[in-house]
Amino acid sequence: MSDQIKEFVEVPRQFVKEGTQFINRCTKPDRRGIYFSNYGIHWVLRKVDPYSDQ
């Protein structure tokens, strides 16, 4: 009986643990992501600014 209770409690605990790891992994950009986003923003601003080539 106690094994069934432990299993019943373990399933939601594992679900919350894996969900938290997934959210943390998806919301934190890595260094390469930050570099490419900064490069992309810089490129867009240069294309929008008509005086950037002078």
Residue 8 has pLDDT above 80, yes or no: no
Position 52 scores a pLDDT of 61
Contact partners, residue 37, CB within 8 Å, separation at least 6: 29
Residue 15 has pLDDT above 70, yes or no: yes
Position 53 scores a pLDDT of 60
39 or 53: whose pLDDT is higher? 39
- Residue 29's pLDDT band (cuts 50, 70, 90): low
- Residue 39's pLDDT band (cuts 50, 70, 90): confident
Tokens 């009986």 locate to 1
pTM, full prediction? 0.42
Type and span of the H or E element at 27: helix 2-27
